[in-house]
Chains A and B, each alone.
Chain A
Amino acid sequence: MRKVENNKAWLLVLPVFLLVAFSAIVPLMTVVNYSVQDIFDQNNAYFVGSEWYREILRDPRLHESLLRQFMFSFAVLAIEIPLGIGIALMMPTKGKMASVCLILVAIPLLIPWNVVGTIWQIFGRADIGLFGWSLTSLGMDYNYASNPIDAWATVLLMDVWHWTPLVALLCYSGLRAIPEAFYQAARIDRASKWAIFRHIQLPKLKNVLVIGVLLRFMDSFMIYTEPFVLTGGGPGNSTTFLSQTLTQMAIGQFDLGPAAAFSLIYFLIVLLVSWLFFTTINHMDKDK
């Protein structure tokens, strides 16, 4: 039988395409245009070719921010993914407690980024903040405003507090989707809890973990508001990440050309790492 082909369904994609073009593609093209010009104002722009790219790629500020950014993102992933899985495994599956736990876990996700920064800014202060006061009372010399290690630990802790619930909720939904028959078969085989986790739960969580790792990597790689509110990038530049360096360049110094070149390099890094994550995890199954 001859198959009837109807391509009218493509028209349904048109609104999304227009929306993406308006919100992403056109602004990105504008950034590319800016990156090859010295922009003074709307009527005064001079073509400079690849000069800004050369300047930015050799700028030590970019190298330092990039290193800090990778360290931060990998620390975030190393803590939040195992912790999120652990919390999801411990959460009750039935009854009122399941709903209570879900709401409690989801609360940090509902708080706006700048509010999270403010909460932790106060929470970490030794004079009026519970966290800072507790550490100081224990005899620790804790001050996130003057000690880079304390600042790093506080920014990391803040991100873990804010975003681990996302990983936990994703894993929780993944765990609930595993059919009971798998657990019954494991019980018949007298499988240990570790064996159930290793051979049933973890493989079944793979898809939600791919989404979790991608979301957390991209989000942590673009982090701006929370560390800006908490530490302002300091002490010194110790918690100045890529987006903050970019903002200083674009808005603080109004260097639109170099900032546009910086943005595109930033975009290419996010694109490459996200693609590597996605492709590696996606092809693991095929290779098996």
Chain B
Amino acid sequence: MSWMAWTQTTAIFFSVIACILIAMTIFEIKVPSTERRGFLPIETSRGDRLFIGLLSSAYLHLVFLGFTEIALWVPLAISVVWVGIVLRWG
């Protein structure tokens, strides 16, 4: 696997993504979700909300990287809270 040029940071990143997907799959099997409408303007399933949360978090990181010199811990903390909000009330 050395050709993939792994680093500790990217390994942690992908592990977290994999854990989220596994946890969401188990949660979906135990408690199946139906589409509903929250504060987002469209009806979404739990998977949709996770996708929206993760994609918007990626863009949030890009905005911080492109326009500010602030350390990435700040957008990371905002993203964790944001994904939680989208999953619960989105």
Contacts and interface: CB of A to CB of B under 8 A. Distances in A.
A109 interface: no
Contacts of A30: 3-5
A275 B55 contact: yes
A272 interface: yes
Interface residues of B, number: 20
Measured as residues with beta carbon below 8 angstroms from the partner, the interface class of chain A is 20 to 34
Given A29-B14, A57-B66, A268 B43 contact: no
B6 to A, nearest CB: 6
B65 A47 contact: no
B81 interface: no
B3 A47 contact: no
A29 B4 contact: yes
Contacts of B65: 50, 53-54, 57
Contacts of B58: 268
A22 B11 CA distance: 18
Given A268-B59, A283-B43, A36 B10 contact: yes
Contacts of A33: 4-7, 10
B5 A34 contact: yes
Given A42-B3, A272-B55, A283-B42, A57 B9 contact: no
A39 B62 contact: no
Given A50-B72, A268-B55, A268-B59, A45 B5 contact: yes
15 contacts: A29-B10, A30-B4, A32-B13, A33-B4, A33-B6, A36-B9, A37-B5, A47-B7, A53-B65, A54-B66, A57-B66, A268-B55, A272-B59, A279-B42, A283-B43
List the 10 closest A-B pairs by CB distance, nearest first. Answer: A57-B66, A33-B5, A30-B4, A53-B65, A33-B10, A283-B42, A54-B65, A47-B7, A45-B5, A32-B10
Interface of A: 26, 29-30, 32-34, 36-37, 39, 42, 45, 47, 49-50, 53-54, 57-58, 265, 268, 271-272, 275, 279, 283, 286
